């Protein structure tokens, strides 16, 4: 899942070259075009609207849920085509990573894994089955899911991989670290890797793509054959 203002075309090229693996099918969808408030209402590909870049900024709940349904429908289609859910990994970069994390955690069947690169978690107060007090964004919040759209806990203990550069000033490293700390409170199977000197980048040569390929290869070897 690509980031804000991007399309699936760039990632499809990367998947066909740098991430190419035997027996692996990649799907690189395009986000719909919509006005983005943070960018002065400019129309661009976006999985949801963005109102601010702070941890407690307002979130576009309707846009997020709309995109989650798109992702869930795509997974459902692959399952109908004969690929079990436990052999499907959902991954994304930046905004796409935020969507991948949330869509993965709310899917109703156990997935092989979830990957978020240079990303963060949206709608953290609506993660299924979570009810406790957690420190996030420098304040204590009571986290409880109240939406029946996301009442599935099949991926509450999913294998999750996050990668972040410590020179990322678009989605700061602290966003990734806070996300990982939050998810660790209910899912021990999350791992985050911080890369020194790396900015907000999805270029094929960066280490983020290496860890994505390594993660996919790990699942192929251990669980798919």
Catalytic residues: 94, 168, 200
Q: How far is C-alpha 119 from the geometric centre of its chain's CA atoms?
A: 7
Contact 61, 139 (CB under 8 A): no
Starting at the edge strand found earlier in the chain, the sheet holding 113-117 runs: 89-93, 113-117, 160-165, 190-195
Quick count: other Cβ atoms within 10 Å of Cβ 66? 14
Which helix or strand (DSSP H or E) is residue 47 part of?
Answer: none
Contact 200, 96 (CB under 8 A): no
Nearest to 30 by CA among 6, 59, 61, 57: 6
């Amino acid at each position: 899942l690509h980031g804000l203002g991007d399309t699936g075309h760039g990632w499809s090229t990367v998947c066909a070259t740098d991430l190419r693996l035997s027996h692996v099918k990649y799907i690189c969808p395009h986000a719909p075009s919509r006005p983005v408030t943070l960018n002065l209402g400019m129309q661009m590909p976006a999985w949801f609207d963005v109102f601010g870049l702070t941890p407690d900024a307002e979130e576009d709940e309707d846009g997020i849920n709309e995109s989650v349904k798109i992702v869930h429908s795509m997974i459902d289609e692959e399952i109908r085509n004969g690929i079990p859910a436990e052999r499907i990994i959902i991954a994304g970069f930046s905004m796409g990573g935020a969507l991948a994390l949330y869509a993965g955690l709310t899917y109703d069947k156990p997935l092989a894994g979830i990957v978020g690169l240079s990303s963060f978690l949206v709608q953290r107060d609506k993660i299924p089955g979570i009810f406790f007090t957690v420190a996030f964004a420098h304040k204590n919040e009571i986290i409880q899911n109240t939406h029946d759209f996301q009442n599935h806990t099949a991926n509450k203990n999913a294998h999750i991989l996050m990668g972040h550069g410590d020179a990322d000033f678009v989605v700061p490293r602290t966003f990734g670290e806070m996300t990982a700390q939050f998810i660790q409170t209910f899912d021990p199977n999350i791992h985050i890797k911080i890369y020194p000197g790396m900015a907000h980048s999805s270029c094929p040569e960066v280490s983020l793509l290496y860890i994505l390929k390594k993660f996919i290869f790990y699942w192929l070897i251990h669980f798919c054959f």
